[in-house]
Structure 1
């Protein structure tokens, strides 16, 4: 269950899960209201990323189950069905520049708890 903790600079931060709930170098799906957000833990780099869970190619909720990796230092996620790859920094489609970008969200860790930042106008 997500709990909003703070709103700052038009970003609402909500509690998504505990650090240990996300597999090292993998992802999980987190619900925020009606939204599905894919949350990724790059344990090797000690970095966290979040994006929409829906792959824009065929509109399937699957990105959280995709393969994480890097391309020229850029963290990316590959859709498990179509192998389209997206930057987890800015959401652009790396494998097909004509493909729609995905939405990305900021992530922060506090006391082994993971928080995701969403647009302050989002309703839970």
Structure 2
């Protein structure tokens, strides 16, 4: 999915891994440059999402191990330690707190996962 704030003309795509490297209905972390990025595969819907791996609440690199689901149809990830919940489409904090996460577009091509930065 592509965040509404990203200009598609300026995206550079990076190969993250094979689709088989990611658990169905779960997440895994990849490193692109200096960024740790959490990638999630919602197997039921076939959708893929990516966001920063660092939870902005306590600054820990743990979102890839977060619990995924939806809130009123909005795909979300919950920090496994603190249960802060974020939209995987917009990065908005769904608990109403001020901090948010960065989200990145994901593309699947020839069984490979690509992240747009």
TM-score by length of 1: 0.87
Q: Root-mean-square deviation (CA), in Å?
A: 0.9
Higher relative contact order (CA 8 A, sep 6+): 2
Runs of 4+ residues deviating >6 angstroms: none
Count matched residues: 110
Maintained 8 Å contact 1:57/1:99 = no
Written as runs of structure 1 = structure 2, the 5 A alignment for 1:43-82 is: 43-82=43-82
Uncovered stretches (5+) of structure 1, i.e. residues with no partner: 1-7, 119-124
Maintained 8 Å contact 1:27/1:65 = yes
**Matching of residue 39 in structure 1 with residue 33 in structure 2:** no
The structure carrying a bigger strand percent of its residues is 1
**Matching of residue 114 in structure 1 with residue 113 in structure 2:** yes
SS in 2 for 1:80: coil
Deviation at 1:99, TM superposition (A): 3.0
Aligned match of 1:121: none
**Matching of residue 102 in structure 1 with residue 101 in structure 2:** yes
**Matching of residue 17 in structure 1 with residue 53 in structure 2:** no
Uncovered stretches (5+) of structure 2, i.e. residues with no partner: 1-7
In the alignment, the residues of structure 1 paired with residue 57 and residue 25 of structure 2 have an alpha-carbon distance, to the nearest angstrom, of 24
Maintained 8 Å contact 1:27/1:40 = yes
Deviation at 1:10, TM superposition (A): 1.2
